[in-house]
């Protein structure tokens, strides 16, 4: 018996949750296998042609070239970026996008959290990432009906996903589109994975502009330090510091019900994610009036700020025609006494020479455990 299925997101979500959370067996009688119907990138919905499936039959799955799919993804992203006058991207070297895509196959459900409790910027930092990242995720398929994917079908899904995220992204308030087209990105890491039930796609957009002589650290004496060379002349405006509690393992149920977006710091958890991010401290240079000194200036600034202001006791910056070097240090003892163990994520804000628009150069997490 043949059946045609149309993907309806709300219904699919409820049905998928019922199978995972309550062990429903409705979809097991009779077993079916589904094939993606021909899909245009401008299609509104995905359709599947399904037929009864003999579970004793051994399916020979076709060989699928993941490198070819990654290349296609980068080409489509760059086509859109060129069309919207953003510089093209190079393929990055981080493996975290692929690792997260593979983990998403466990639930066939979008989640920016990993089973170890980490958010995207934590995973990126833990694997050695030293720039700034933003992530897009798409999961195609559901965990209750088997699919037979071909390379052509996944190529069509990649093209459809790219068009949908750029041109039809109203549901996410064009966050995916903004991320794909953002002019500050210069690398992208692609994750693509598939199982008998779903296809997962992860775009990890990366901003890499700093050669580090000292990655951001917090020493055992609570001294915050970072030093490096930005590959363009710029003004370092400030450093925002965010705090997350120590990540804890999450169950499949917790991952399936996690928010559909993520943010920096403690105001965004796998249970609830508030709009906007709230730093626990802002580090500033002592540039307002050097005669005041860091401590007095810090005291004055904190009278008018709801967020603790720290004035760095060392903020050395050298400018060249096409570079900026920096070495920054500050005592985090008072801050660490309030928050203690956890993940401290550092966002360095800088304005390129001749521009009044700031850009984030880092989303580097320091694991103080």
The residue that leads in pLDDT, 24 or 88, is 88
Domain boundary among 185, 207, 229: 207
Extract the tokens encoding 94: 């981080």
Question: Per-residue pLDDT for 132 more than 90?
Answer: yes
pLDDT tens, position by position, 28-55: 456 788 999 999 999 999 999 998 877 6
3-class DSSP assignment, residue 135: strand
**Do 143 and 222 sit in the same domain of this protein?**
no
CB 4 within 8 A of CB 49: yes
Domain hosting 286: range is 210-368
- pLDDT at residue 107, rounded to an integer: 94
Question: Per-residue pLDDT for 292 more than 80?
Answer: no
Nearby residues of 138 by Cβ (< 8 Å), 6 or more positions away: 110, 161, 165, 200, 201
Q: Based on the structure, what is the number of domains in the chain?
A: 2
- pLDDT at residue 288, rounded to an integer: 54
**Do 157 and 214 sit in the same domain of this protein?**
no
Q: Phi and psi for 18 in degrees, rounded to 5?
A: -65, -40
- pLDDT at residue 18, rounded to an integer: 44
- CA torsion, points 350, 127, 104, 77, in degrees to nearest 10? 50
Pick the range with the lowest mean pLDDT from 215-219, 270-274, 319-323. 270-274
What predicted TM-score, i.e. pTM, was given to this entire model? 0.87
Give me the sheet containing 2-6, strands edge to edge.
2-6, 47-52, 32-36, 146-147
pLDDT band with cut points at 50, 70 and 90 for residue 172: confident
- pLDDT at residue 9, rounded to an integer: 44
How far apart (Å, rounded) are the C-alpha atoms in residues 74 and 189? 9
pLDDT band with cut points at 50, 70 and 90 for residue 301: low
**Do 285 and 188 sit in the same domain of this protein?**
no
pLDDT band with cut points at 50, 70 and 90 for residue 280: very high
- pLDDT at residue 183, rounded to an integer: 97
Pick the range with the lowest mean pLDDT from 140-154, 192-206, 249-263, 291-305. 291-305
How far apart (Å, rounded) are the C-alpha atoms in residues 221 and 230? 27
* Ramachandran quadrant class, 201 (left: phi over 0; alpha: psi -120 to 50; beta: rest): beta
Question: Per-residue pLDDT for 341 more than 90?
Answer: yes
3-state secondary structure 78-120: HHHHHHCCCCCCEECCCCHHHHHHHHHCCCCCCCCCCCCCCCH
Domain boundary among 152, 176, 207: 207
**Do 124 and 239 sit in the same domain of this protein?**
no
**Residue 166 CB coordination number (10 Å):** 21
Query: Given the DSSP bridges, would you call strands 187-194 and 90-91 parallel, antiparallel or unpaired?
Result: parallel
In a domain, 7, yes or no: no
How far apart (Å, rounded) are the C-alpha atoms in residues 310 and 40? 53
Query: Given the DSSP bridges, would you call strands 364-368 and 342-352 parallel, antiparallel or unpaired?
Result: antiparallel
In a domain, 29, yes or no: no
The residue that leads in pLDDT, 169 or 21, is 169
Query: Given the DSSP bridges, would you call strands 281-284 and 309-311 parallel, antiparallel or unpaired?
Result: parallel
**Tokens 């977006």 -> residue:** 261
CB 43 within 8 A of CB 164: no
**Do 79 and 93 sit in the same domain of this protein?**
yes
**Do 357 and 224 sit in the same domain of this protein?**
yes
CATH at residue 103: 3.40.33.10
- pLDDT at residue 297, rounded to an integer: 66
Nearby residues of 283 by Cβ (< 8 Å), 6 or more positions away: 224, 238, 239, 240, 241, 310, 311, 312, 328, 330
Q: What is the DSSP letter of 159?
A: H
Domain boundary among 207, 222, 252: 207
Residue closest to 243 by CA, chosen among 139, 122, 78, 326:
122
**Do 195 and 247 sit in the same domain of this protein?**
no
pLDDT tens, position by position, 73-116: 999 999 999 999 999 999 999 999 999 999 999 999 999 999 99
């Amino acid at each position: 018996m043949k059946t045609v299925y149309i993907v309806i997101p709300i219904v699919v979500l409820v049905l998928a949750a019922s199978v995972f959370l309550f062990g429903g067996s409705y979809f097991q009688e009779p077993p079916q296998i589904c094939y993606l119907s021909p899909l245009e990138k401008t299609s509104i919905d995905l359709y599947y042609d399904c037929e009864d499936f003999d579970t004793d039959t051994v399916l020979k799955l076709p060989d699928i070239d993941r490198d070819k799919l990654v290349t296609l993804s980068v080409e489509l992203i760059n086509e859109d970026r060129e069309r919207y006058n953003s510089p093209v991207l190079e393929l990055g070297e981080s493996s975290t996008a692929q690792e997260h895509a593979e983990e998403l196959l466990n639930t066939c459900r979008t989640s920016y959290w990993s089973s170890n409790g980490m958010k995207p910027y934590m995973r990126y930092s833990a694997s050695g990432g030293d720039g700034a990242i933003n992530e897009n995720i798409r999961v195609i398929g559901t965990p209750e009906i088997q699919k037979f994917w071909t390379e052509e079908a996944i190529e069509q899904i990649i093209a459809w996903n790219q068009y949908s995220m750029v041109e039809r992204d109203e549901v996410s308030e064009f966050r995916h589109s903004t991320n794909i087209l953002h002019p500050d990105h210069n690398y992208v890491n692609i994750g693509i994975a598939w199982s008998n039930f779903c296809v997962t796609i992860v775009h990890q957009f990366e901003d890499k502009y700093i050669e580090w002589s000292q990655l951001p650290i917090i020493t055992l004496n609570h001294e915050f330090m970072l030093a490096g060379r930005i590959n363009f002349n710029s003004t370092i405006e400030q450093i925002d510091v965010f705090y997350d509690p120590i990540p804890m393992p999450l169950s499949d149920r917790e991952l399936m019900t996690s928010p559909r977006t993520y943010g920096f710091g403690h105001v965004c958890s796998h249970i609830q994610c508030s709009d906007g991010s709230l730093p626990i401290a802002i580090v500033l240079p002592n540039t307002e009036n050097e005669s005041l000194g860091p401590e007095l200036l810090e005291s004055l600034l904190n009278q008018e700020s709801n967020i603790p202001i720290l004035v760095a006791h060392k903020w050395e910056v050298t400018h060249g025609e096409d570079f900026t070097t920096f070495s920054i240090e500050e005592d985090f003892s008072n801050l660490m006494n309030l928050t203690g163990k956890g993940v401290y994520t550092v966002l360095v804000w800088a304005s390129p020479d001749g521009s009044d628009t700031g850009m984030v150069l880092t989303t580097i997490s320091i694991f103080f455990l």
